[in-house]
Amino acid sequence: QVQLVESGGGLVQAGGSLRLSCAASGRTFSMNFMGWFRQAPGKEREFVAAISWSAGSTSHADSVKGRFTISRDKSKNTVYLQMNSLKPENTAVYYCAATRAYGLVTSIKSTLDFDSWGQGTQVTVSS
């Protein structure tokens, strides 16, 4: 089992930036991918980005390409989500996730692919 703790959320004005962090502990040796999802009020949880733990290969949702960047620091067991040029529509609870699943990073983008989840951190973007 992997434990995940997110941090870095908060209130930011449109056009601003935030950097989310997710610290992993426990059976981190079993992680193959880590990712970020978000869920806005009344919406389903949706994929944002994923990264392979070993090689650092990344995948980003089309809606955030060019603005959001996922990365990881293996020495700190931490994954990050750098969010730039934030828009009010990006307001959501952002969740960190990890999985033992195998495959290409481009195929790991469903909530069903992940088996460990953080509690989420609120990101609110004002107009």
Q: What is the pLDDT along the chain (127 residues), one digit of tens a residue?
A: 899 999 999 999 999 999 999 999 999 988 999 999 999 999 999 999 999 999 999 999 999 999 999 999 999 999 999 999 999 999 999 999 999 999 999 999 999 999 999 999 999 999 9
Say which DSSP state 28 is in: G
CA–CA gap between residue 112 and residue 13 (Å, rounded): 32
Q: Beta 33-39 vs 46-52: how paired, if at all?
A: antiparallel
CA–CA gap between residue 101 and residue 123 (Å, rounded): 28
* Phi, psi angles (nearest 5°) of residue 55: -90, -20
**Two tokens, residue 90:** 């990006």
